[in-house]
Amino acid sequence: MAFTHTNSVRSSYVAGGQDIIFTVEKTETAGAEMNISQAITTDSITETTDIVLEYFEFQTANKARSIYIRLDGFNGALYAEDSAAAETKMLDLDAGEPYTWSYNAGTSFPAGTSNPMVDDTVKLIIRPDVGAGTETDGTITLKLLYIPE
Protein backbone atom coordinates (compact mmCIF):
# COMPACT_ATOMS: atom_id res chain seq x y z
CA MET A 1 0.00 0.00 0.00
CA ALA A 2 1.36 3.42 -0.92
CA PHE A 3 0.94 6.61 1.09
CA THR A 4 1.00 10.08 -0.43
CA HIS A 5 1.96 13.36 1.25
CA THR A 6 1.68 16.75 -0.46
CA ASN A 7 3.87 19.64 0.66
CA SER A 8 2.11 22.84 -0.40
CA VAL A 9 3.67 26.26 0.12
CA ARG A 10 1.42 29.29 -0.36
CA SER A 11 2.95 32.72 -0.76
CA SER A 12 1.37 36.14 -0.68
CA TYR A 13 3.29 39.24 -1.68
CA VAL A 14 1.81 42.73 -1.55
CA ALA A 15 3.35 45.53 -3.62
CA GLY A 16 1.83 48.67 -5.07
CA GLY A 17 -1.56 47.74 -3.70
CA GLN A 18 -1.56 44.43 -5.53
CA ASP A 19 -1.66 41.11 -3.68
CA ILE A 20 0.18 38.40 -5.62
CA ILE A 21 -0.79 34.94 -4.35
CA PHE A 22 0.65 31.69 -5.62
CA THR A 23 1.00 28.10 -4.44
CA VAL A 24 3.71 25.54 -5.22
CA GLU A 25 3.15 21.85 -4.42
CA LYS A 26 5.32 18.76 -4.38
CA THR A 27 3.83 15.32 -3.90
CA GLU A 28 5.76 12.33 -2.57
CA THR A 29 4.65 8.69 -2.47
CA ALA A 30 6.22 5.91 -0.41
CA GLY A 31 5.26 2.73 1.40
CA ALA A 32 5.22 3.79 5.05
CA GLU A 33 4.40 6.69 7.32
CA MET A 34 4.68 7.63 10.99
CA ASN A 35 2.46 10.19 12.62
CA ILE A 36 2.73 11.73 16.08
CA SER A 37 0.49 14.29 17.69
CA GLN A 38 1.24 14.36 21.38
CA ALA A 39 0.30 16.75 24.15
CA ILE A 40 3.35 17.81 26.15
CA THR A 41 3.97 20.10 29.13
CA THR A 42 7.12 21.88 30.26
CA ASP A 43 8.54 20.97 33.67
CA SER A 44 6.97 22.50 36.78
CA ILE A 45 10.33 23.72 38.17
CA THR A 46 12.80 24.18 35.29
CA GLU A 47 11.31 25.37 32.01
CA THR A 48 14.18 24.00 29.89
CA THR A 49 13.98 20.40 31.16
CA ASP A 50 13.91 17.89 28.28
CA ILE A 51 10.62 16.32 27.24
CA VAL A 52 11.38 12.79 26.03
CA LEU A 53 9.29 10.87 23.49
CA GLU A 54 10.19 7.22 23.94
CA TYR A 55 9.51 4.53 21.32
CA PHE A 56 10.19 6.66 18.25
CA GLU A 57 12.49 4.57 16.10
CA PHE A 58 13.79 5.54 12.68
CA GLN A 59 16.82 3.72 11.33
CA THR A 60 17.88 5.26 8.03
CA ALA A 61 17.51 9.00 7.47
CA ASN A 62 17.89 8.87 3.69
CA LYS A 63 14.71 6.78 3.45
CA ALA A 64 12.60 9.84 4.39
CA ARG A 65 10.59 11.37 1.56
CA SER A 66 8.46 14.01 3.24
CA ILE A 67 8.20 15.50 6.72
CA TYR A 68 6.04 17.95 8.63
CA ILE A 69 7.05 19.00 12.16
CA ARG A 70 5.34 21.61 14.33
CA LEU A 71 5.71 22.56 17.99
CA ASP A 72 2.80 24.47 19.49
CA GLY A 73 2.69 26.25 22.86
CA PHE A 74 6.33 27.31 23.21
CA ASN A 75 9.63 27.54 21.31
CA GLY A 76 12.14 24.72 21.54
CA ALA A 77 14.58 22.45 19.76
CA LEU A 78 14.01 18.89 18.56
CA TYR A 79 16.77 16.34 19.07
CA ALA A 80 17.21 12.72 18.03
CA GLU A 81 18.90 10.28 20.40
CA ASP A 82 20.60 7.21 18.95
CA SER A 83 21.14 3.75 20.45
CA ALA A 84 24.45 4.92 22.00
CA ALA A 85 22.57 7.76 23.80
CA ALA A 86 24.23 10.41 21.61
CA GLU A 87 22.03 13.41 20.82
CA THR A 88 21.86 15.18 17.46
CA LYS A 89 19.95 18.42 17.04
CA MET A 90 17.40 18.12 14.26
CA LEU A 91 15.69 21.52 14.28
CA ASP A 92 14.95 24.72 16.15
CA LEU A 93 11.18 25.18 16.24
CA ASP A 94 9.21 28.35 16.90
CA ALA A 95 5.74 27.89 18.35
CA GLY A 96 3.15 27.33 15.65
CA GLU A 97 5.59 27.58 12.72
CA PRO A 98 5.81 24.28 10.86
CA TYR A 99 8.94 22.87 9.27
CA THR A 100 8.24 21.07 6.01
CA TRP A 101 10.58 19.19 3.72
CA SER A 102 10.09 17.00 0.65
CA TYR A 103 12.69 14.86 -1.11
CA ASN A 104 11.76 16.30 -4.54
CA ALA A 105 13.98 13.91 -6.53
CA GLY A 106 16.95 14.78 -4.31
CA THR A 107 16.75 18.57 -4.65
CA SER A 108 14.73 19.31 -1.45
CA PHE A 109 11.58 21.41 -1.34
CA PRO A 110 11.11 24.16 -0.28
CA ALA A 111 14.48 25.50 -1.40
CA GLY A 112 16.92 25.88 1.48
CA THR A 113 15.45 23.04 3.54
CA SER A 114 17.04 19.69 4.23
CA ASN A 115 16.02 16.32 5.59
CA PRO A 116 16.15 16.70 9.40
CA MET A 117 15.95 12.97 10.17
CA VAL A 118 18.88 11.24 11.88
CA ASP A 119 20.15 7.66 11.42
CA ASP A 120 19.59 5.20 14.28
CA THR A 121 17.03 7.36 16.11
CA VAL A 122 15.54 5.56 19.12
CA LYS A 123 13.81 8.51 20.79
CA LEU A 124 12.97 12.15 20.25
CA ILE A 125 13.72 14.92 22.73
CA ILE A 126 12.05 18.33 22.87
CA ARG A 127 14.22 20.86 24.68
CA PRO A 128 12.13 23.96 25.52
CA ASP A 129 13.82 27.34 25.04
CA VAL A 130 14.43 29.76 27.89
CA GLY A 131 11.20 31.70 28.20
CA ALA A 132 8.95 28.69 27.58
CA GLY A 133 7.62 28.97 31.11
CA THR A 134 6.95 26.24 33.63
CA GLU A 135 3.93 23.98 33.25
CA THR A 136 3.29 25.34 29.76
CA ASP A 137 1.07 23.10 27.66
CA GLY A 138 2.04 22.34 24.10
CA THR A 139 1.76 19.80 21.31
CA ILE A 140 4.38 18.19 19.10
CA THR A 141 3.17 17.07 15.67
CA LEU A 142 5.30 15.00 13.31
CA LYS A 143 4.24 13.41 10.03
CA LEU A 144 6.88 11.36 8.25
CA LEU A 145 6.62 9.60 4.89
CA TYR A 146 9.40 7.12 4.16
CA ILE A 147 10.55 4.10 2.19
CA PRO A 148 10.29 1.04 4.46
CA GLU A 149 13.40 -1.12 4.70
Domain residue limits at 72: 31-146
Condensed to tens digits (0 to 9), the pLDDT of residues 34-71 reads: 999 999 999 999 999 999 999 999 999 999 999 999 99
Q: What is the CATH number of the domain that holds 104?
A: 2.60.120
In a domain, 94, yes or no: yes
Q: 4 lies in a domain?
A: no
Q: Note whether residue 126 is domain-resident.
A: yes
- Residue 19's pLDDT is 95
| CA 137 to chain CA centroid, nearest Å | 18
If one counts the domains in the chain, the total is: 1
- With respect to residue 18, please indicate whether it lies within any of the assigned structural domains: no
Distances (CA, A) of 137 to 19, 128, 133: 36, 11, 9
pTM (2 d.p.) = 0.93
Name beta bridge partners: 53.
Answer: 124
- 16 falls within a domain: no
Q: What is the CA radius of gyration of the chain?
A: 17
Could you read off the pLDDT of 92-112 as tens digits, one per residue?
999 999 999 999 999 999 999
**DSSP notation for 96-117:** T--EEEE-GGGT-BSTT-----
Is the CA virtual torsion 147, 27, 56, 127 positive or negative?
positive
Angle at CA of residue 38, ends 74 and 110, nearest 5°: 70
